């Protein structure tokens, strides 16, 4: 993946952190949805924006002790729906939240 706009990419990653400053109780699912949305819709990369957004969101969830247990094709449909404007960030966050499970050691 080639970064087209480094500042935009870094801002996309910081979007969840900024939201946490103002919405501390929103939860990891919402922050992950924001992160996906920023990366996937702002096109800071030349190619692979949705892929990078998905990786960032899933990694964020994992680092926060959770994993998303959904079929790959279902997740892809939801992520594409967000990029197409068929789902809001809040809708995506609710989908994530409904399908999150704690990581076990």
Pairing of strands 100-102, 66-68: antiparallel
- Report CA-CA distances (Å) from 29 to 5, 7, 57, 64, 86: 26, 24, 9, 10, 18
- 53: pLDDT strictly greater than 70: yes
For the ranges 11-15, 44-48, 96-100, which has the lowest average pLDDT?
Answer: 11-15
- 45: pLDDT strictly greater than 90: no
Closest CA to 94 of 38, 32, 46: 32
Higher pLDDT, 3 or 73: 73
Domains, the chain, ordered by start: 6-102 (1.20.120.1870)
User: What are the tens digits of pLDDT across the range 78-105?
Assistant: 999 999 999 999 999 999 999 999 987 6
């Amino acid at each position: 993946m080639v970064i087209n706009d480094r500042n935009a990419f870094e801002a996309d990653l910081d979007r969840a952190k900024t939201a946490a400053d103002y919405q501390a109780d929103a939860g990891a699912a919402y922050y992950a949805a924001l992160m996906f949305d920023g990366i996937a819709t702002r096109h800071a990369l030349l190619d692979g924006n949705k892929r990078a957004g998905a990786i960032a969101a899933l990694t964020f969830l994992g680092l926060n002790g959770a994993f998303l247990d959904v079929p790959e094709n279902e997740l892809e449909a939801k992520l594409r729906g967000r990029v197409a404007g068929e789902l809001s960030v809040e809708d995506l966050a609710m989908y994530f939240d409904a399908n999150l499970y704690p990581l076990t050691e």
